[in-house]
Structure 1
Amino acid sequence: MIVSRLIKPAAVAATAFGILMLPGILAAQAPSRQDAARTSTSGNYLAARHAGAQRDAAAASTYYRAALRSDPKNPELLERAFIASLTEGNIDEAVRLAERVLQTKKNDKTARLVLGIRAIKNKQWQSARLNIAQSVRGPVTDLTAALLIAWTQYGSKDPKTAIDVIDRLQGADWYATFKDLHAGMILDIAGKKKDAGKRLEKVQKSDATALRIVEAYGSFLSRHGSKDEALAVFQGFEKALPNHPLIVDEVTKVEAGEKLPPLVQNAQAGAAEVLYGIGSALGRRGGEDLGLAYLQLALYLEPKHPLALLSLADLYEAMKKPQLAIDIYRRVPADSPLHRNAEIQLATNLDSLDKTDEAKLHLKKLIEENPTDREAIMALGNIERSRKNYAECADTYSKAVSLIANPQKPNWLVFYFRGICHERAKNWPAAEADLKKALELYPDQAHVLNYLGYSWVDQGVNLDEGMRMIRRAVEQRPDDGYIVDSLGWAYYRIGNLEEATKHLERAVELKPDDPTINDHLGDAYWKTGRQLEAQFQWQHATALKPEPDELKKIEDKLKNGMPDDNNATTAEQNTKRNGG
């Protein structure tokens, strides 16, 4: 999936949002209201707490509200029900609960923010400002509040005050990017072309690869500058991040002589852009709770905002909630340039739910509709590779390769993946050719160096070059447990047990929960006479749930030890040497 980049602030402090740091609660399968009604207050409360621990906001919200109906004056139940509703994305319910929260806790900052956003949606600009001004508590919320208030001033037909609000805001250096972008967008739709151009040009020069900045300035130039100037801005982005669907679509339109509309066209859309921009940045930097709340509020204002939808789905994926991600991907508008990306990512989440056949059919349908869609072909190959359908994935990646007229550096990955599939399908000549091609396109790529170097050492060919390549991979990624394991196992294969043990011990430190690495260290211990330690490592490896065929081999070693003439196991035992 192409991950949309809005803005890259030098640092975004993931400030705690107070009660948003309650146990994580994300929606899944909610119980019916009737089921909750049949449960006691204490039962509903305990069920809600359990749902919260499972990151199931829909269930948590249902149970907390059921408990609240039985005990309506309980402030803890009210607060938790409010947060669960907000996190679930049920903003209408969150608004109702926020009003009740403020009856007993007038300074609740989260409730104030929610009511402020509701007021923006209703174009009640003064009420929005009053509530949002009371929602601040730190660097992120200060910035958010200032930008939201600026958009309410624009909604009140006072763009001058809106810009003053933004310019008066003092704070961290990374504020400047957000301030200039939103000031530029307000000035643009307010008809202040000269000032808007200065702001947007300034922020674009500070980061020519931030998607929303490029879109804002490029669209501005298409209307108030020249076609060539607009294309230059978009093409600068393309050089760094090629084939982004939104940029491809905008370039096509500009080349056809179209003038692109402003990135946002009213105050409500501007407020949604604030919440999306900061929310997506927070989600990528560990501030999942606040990021999730901001994205849900952005979608309350602009339900079809495709980037907010993709960011929310991406956040659900990071939180290992594939069904939630699927539900969000299905909301991406069919006419959006990002719809196809959403469909591809939807398939990968189906696979995460072990609905692999459905995922494959979904992707094959997309490929039938557009046989040149490399993204969909790669996604299908990745699923087949992860499911160990190696002959199939080699064929699928070959379809992607056939679409590349002149392979460039970014294409190294498809050759690397196809090489893995060929190697696992016992077609070493084809695998070696692909791995060499991947290195030709991307010299010194650590994973490819590791895979090819290890394969050579394992086969007893090109030993010096193979060891050099693995060492180079470790130099680049010294804390990658899989690659360090490869170096240790390569030393084991050539009989240098002292070096093998040293590096395998380091690999286990880096990746203590990997059964293959623990198994390797057990083998090295056995060969150096440390048989009790070997038994311990093998026993630990069995507890880490290795693949069934590997489990059988480890259990055999636990029972019988290792024969004296067995200096190494076969290559098939070591498929996790690089996570491929």
Structure 2
Amino acid sequence: MFGLTARLFCVKCMVLAGLVPLLGGCTDKMAAPGVNEAAKRTAVAVNGDVDLACSTFYFLWGRHAELLLRFEEALEFYQKALICDERADFISEKIPILLLRLERTSEAETWLADYLQSHPDKTGMRMLYAKVLLKQKKHSEAMREYQIISERHPDDVAILLLLAEMYITAGQPEQAEPLLDRILGKDPHSYLGHILMARLRQAQGNTDGAVDHYQKALKRNWSSDLEMELGELYIKAGRYNEAARLYRGLVDRDGQNEGARVALIHVYLLQKNDGQALAELNRLKTIAQQPQRVDLTIARLYAKQKQFDRAIAIVEKILVKEDLPEARYFLAVLQIQKGRLTKALKQVRLIGPSAPEYADAFFLQIRILREQDKLDEAMRLLQEQIDAGSLRTGELYIMLAALHQMEGRDDLSKSVLLKGIEAYPNDENLLYEYGLLLESDGDHEAALAVMQKIIEIKPDHAAALNFVGYSWADTKVNLDQALDYIQRAIELKPENGYIHDSLGWVYYRLGKLDQAVKALETAVKLSPDDAAILDHLGDVYLESGRIREALQAFRKALKLTRDNDKEKKRILEKIRILEKQEAR
């Protein structure tokens, strides 16, 4: 009986392994040491689709491969073991774990989804499935799985905490709050419960409630990390004195706590307490792993106070000890502040292409050359960089085109921008500069088409939205869409007077004079020295019957109109007509 069973076992194993079956029994070469004996002990007669001996054989092979970290091989053997016994759940649970170890996350997700269709009550596998979904950034799907687990295990605090944290992270505090209420109702001293409730209250804008729960959590289990989190809350809420006291306490408790000292310096800077910030920076330098970085921060603080010579002296000492590109770039900026362009140029030229600051240093070099009226050299460097292709950015073309414009070579400027657009067809900055050049050349329709393309590429490009919206308002077309565009632009740039001017003009075209006046008055406050805005305000005042205010606006516009005889003449004519009306 045993011989027949062993033969059936070995034949099925070899068929699964892709081997030619032998008429004799299994050979020792087929198994790892000790596997045959284990298989023989568990061998039973084949019963339907289940062959426990075959399943055990492959399981042991798989386990042996897994222990040797041969995961591909282990996966293959476990899958064959399941063919012998598809009901072996302990083997099934190995498959997705191996897939994850092999970074085959999508396959693990699919496998788990299929498995849970036939095994819906397997909580452990559902937990793993939810984690895989999170890894795939499928947060809503993962949340659904945790909800299912929570419904089946309503009193499992660990699951409730996990689900509440997911709701908070997903920006759904209203879903998290009842779960945390249940947790704290069961255990009023729950450490994690109070931390999550603190974060929930913070998300709701309830700073006092958040502080209360942080303090309860700290009372239960103090940690410097949690106090640092509370300190961040104080800073966000503008409660700088409380933040300073908290960080001061952390520093007094542990003088080596570099993070707390940095945070304390940050608070002092927010309080504009530069003296105490500087004192703490000097203390930090004695414990910091990278004291040169602290020196660089001290130099920045002196620069903020406009003590440029002191800042330069510190940075030069840093560079004697270590060639830090960041410090070299900052030294160049400081030298520019002192008007020492040649020294600044020397520093930026010492920053190599491998440094993160290289791009900024190169563009600063071009700006210095422009200040020195060395346009030919600047243009040569830009063209060389474009040809080399090592610094891949559309800004190279923009700067080169601007230099050509400075020399009055609009034809070359346009050519450069077109080459840039050919290299970077979706670069909105390149397209915008090209659109402005077309507008200055008088080709308004072509400029408008370019601006509309920018909006297609980047719907939140405020300048393009304003350009198109104002153009439509000026020509009295698409006024409703023009209003939508300009309102979107204002949301993006609320302090821009020119966009408020466009808003006033579109209201004017829509016949909404009160709203037009309000928008244009706001525009004048934001950009008081712009003649065009004052001219628009005068037109709207005039349309509203406010002749005296219109006359004042036109007179101010006239004073600000320079080097444009045509505009001066046009505004003077308006003033002349209104003054005649006033005289009557």
Same fold (TM over 0.5): no
Structure (1/2) with the larger helix percentage: 2
- TM-score, with structure 1 as normaliser: 0.45
Larger RCO (CA under 8 A, 6+ residues apart): 1
| Largest Rg, 1 or 2 | 2
- TM-score, with structure 2 as normaliser: 0.45
